[in-house]
A and B are shown apart, each in its own frame.
Chain A
C-alpha cells in the first residue's frame, strides 16, 4: 500500500503528509509549537512576567520532541496523530493555565513531564498490556483502596473546609485516586468482557428473544462498578460517577451489540438523576441552575453565568490572549478552562478543540476496528477512547449549559496533575495498541 501509491499524482498535501502516508509529525508539531509560542509571547507582553513562563514553553518543546523521537525509534508503527493531538492540547493547556493561574503553571509543567515519561514507558514496554490484564483484580483492589482512603484521609488542596475531599496528599504533593481509577476500571471491565465475549456471542446468536446478558455473566463487573459508585457518591464526586456509568454502558453495548442496553441505560441515567436530585443538594443546585440560571446570576449560578458571558465576549476571533477577562469565572483554570479558551481564542479556538477531540476519538476507534484479532485489545482501545471523549463532552457541554454541570476536567487541557497523568496513561495505551500489540 505504501509503495504502490507513490506513483500517483501528488496533491498539495503530500508535503504535509509525507511520502509514507503516515503523517509528518514534525510539521504538525512545528505548527502547534508556533501557536503555543504566540500564546506565551502574548502573555509575556500583557503582564509583568518572569522566566517561569518560558521554562514552561521549554518543557513543552522538550517533551514533544523527545516523545516524538523516542516513539519513532522504538515504536515505528504507532499512530503519530495521537501524540500530536495530545501535545497540542496539553501545550494549549499550559498556555491557558499560565494565563489564568500563573501560580499553578510550574506545577502543571512538572506534571506534564511526569505524564509524558509515563506515557512513553507504557507505549514502549509491551508488558504493560499483559499486566493490566493479568493483575486486574490486584490493580482494581489497590485503586479501590486508594479511593476508599479518600473518605478517611481525603484532603482538598484548596484547604476550604467544605470542598470535596477527593485528594490524597503527601507533603506538597496531591493526587486524586478517582482519576487513576478511570484507567483501571476500564481495563478491568474490558478484560472481563473480553473473556466472556465467546459466551455473549453464543447466547445472543441463539433465539432472537433471549438476551446475551444474564446477571451471571456480568455480575462481577456490576459488583465492582457498584462498589466504586458507592464510594464516588459518598464522596460527592458525581461527575466521575456519571462518567463511569456511561462508559460502562457503552462497553457492555460494544461487547454484546444489544441496542436495548443503550435505551435502558439512558432511562437509568434519568432515573438516577431524579433520585440524586432528591438526595443531594449539589445535584439539585446543578439541575436548577441548568434550567434557569438567571434568577441567581449573582449567587449560586454565578459561575455558569460568567461562563456564558465569557463565550459571548469571545465572539468569533476571541479577545486575544491576556486581553479578555475570564478571571470573573471562579476556579476558571480547572473545570471551566474551556470558557476561558472560548473568550480569549474565540469560536476559532473552540472549533480547534472540538476538532482535536473529534480526530482523537476517530483515531482511537480506528485502532479498535483495526485489531480484528484480540477482543481485549479492540475493547480496550474503544473503552479508553470513549472515556476521554465522554469526559470531554460532559464538561464542554456543561460549561455551555447544554447539560447540567458535572465537575470533570477537560482532558489534557484543564489544570490538574492527576487528570493530566491519567489522560497520558490512556494515550500511552492507545499508542501501544495502535502499533499492533501482540
Chain B
C-alpha cells in the first residue's frame, strides 16, 4: 500500500480514537453526575419536629412536626404561635429547600437566635439546633420519627 495512504489512514485512526476516548470519558462523567444527582435525594431529610423546651407549655402545643414551610410568630395564622411580647407578629420561618432546612428571620424586631447567636442571614439547620425567639427555646429534631404523632 502507498505510504501516504497508510499515513492518512493512521491520522484518521488517531483522530477517531481520540474522539472516541473523549466521548467515552464524557459518558462516564455524565453517568457519574447522574449518580451524584440521585445521592442527595436518598439522603434528604424530609421529616423532623420542633420541641418547645422553655418555657413550659401545654403538651398539645409543645411539639410541632416540620412541614415544607413552618412560620413562627405572635400572629394567630402562624404554624407555631408564640405568646411572647418579644416576638414579632411574623417573626421567623423554617423552610425546606432541596433537602435542607433553613432558618430565616422575617425582619423581626428582636431577632432570632440560633444556638444562642442572633442570625444575620438565612442559615442552614442541623439536628439538635436550638432556635430562640423571645424567651422561648425550641429544639430541632431532624430525620427522626415523631413518636408522639
Contact = CB atoms under 8 A, between A and B. Distances in A.
B123 to A, nearest CB: 12
B29 interface: yes
B21 A35 contact: yes
Contacts of A45: 3, 6-7, 10
B57 interface: no
Given A38-B17, A320-B7, A13 B30 contact: yes
Interface stretch (B34-42, B97-105, B125-133, B136-144): B34-42
Contact of A31 (B3, B7, B20): B20
Interface majority SS (helix, strand, loop, mixed), chain B:
helix
B69 interface: no
B119 interface: no
A352 interface: yes
A49 interface: no
Given A1-B35, A352-B22, A42 B11 contact: yes
Contacts of B3: 45
Interface string A1-38: 10001000000110011000101000110011011011
Give the contact-size bracket for chain A: 35 or more
B17 A1 contact: no
A352 B21 contact: yes
A121 interface: no
B21 A321 contact: no
A359 B25 CA distance: 9
A17 B13 contact: no
Given A21-B32, A45-B10, A32 B21 contact: yes
B145 to A, nearest CB: 23
A34 B13 contact: yes
Contacts of B68: none
Given A21-B35, A45-B7, A355 B14 contact: no
Given A16-B24, A81-B25, A35 B35 contact: no
Contacts of B14: 35, 38-39, 42, 321, 345
B31 interface: yes
A348 B15 contact: yes
A226 interface: no
B23 to A, nearest CB: 8
A31 B17 contact: yes
Contacts of A336: none
Interface in A141-163: none
A349 interface: yes
B17 A355 contact: no
Contacts of A12: 27
B42 A35 contact: no
Given A28-B28, A35-B17, A88-B21, A46 B7 contact: yes
B10 A17 contact: no
Nearest to A40: B10
A12 B27 CA distance: 9
A355 B27 contact: no
Contacts of B25: 28, 81, 84-85, 355-356, 359
Given A39-B14, A348-B19, 15 more contacts: A1-B42, A5-B35, A16-B27, A23-B31, A23-B32, A27-B24, A32-B21, A38-B10, A81-B28, A317-B15, A321-B10, A321-B11, A348-B18, A352-B21, A356-B25
Interface of B: 3, 6-7, 10-11, 13-15, 17-22, 24-25, 27-32, 35, 38-39, 42
18 contacts: A1-B35, A1-B39, A13-B27, A16-B24, A17-B27, A17-B31, A28-B21, A28-B24, A31-B17, A34-B13, A34-B17, A38-B11, A42-B10, A85-B25, A345-B14, A349-B18, A355-B22, A359-B25
> Would you list the 7 A-B pairs with minimal beta carbon distance, nearest first?
A13-B27, A38-B14, A34-B17, A35-B17, A31-B21, A38-B13, A23-B28
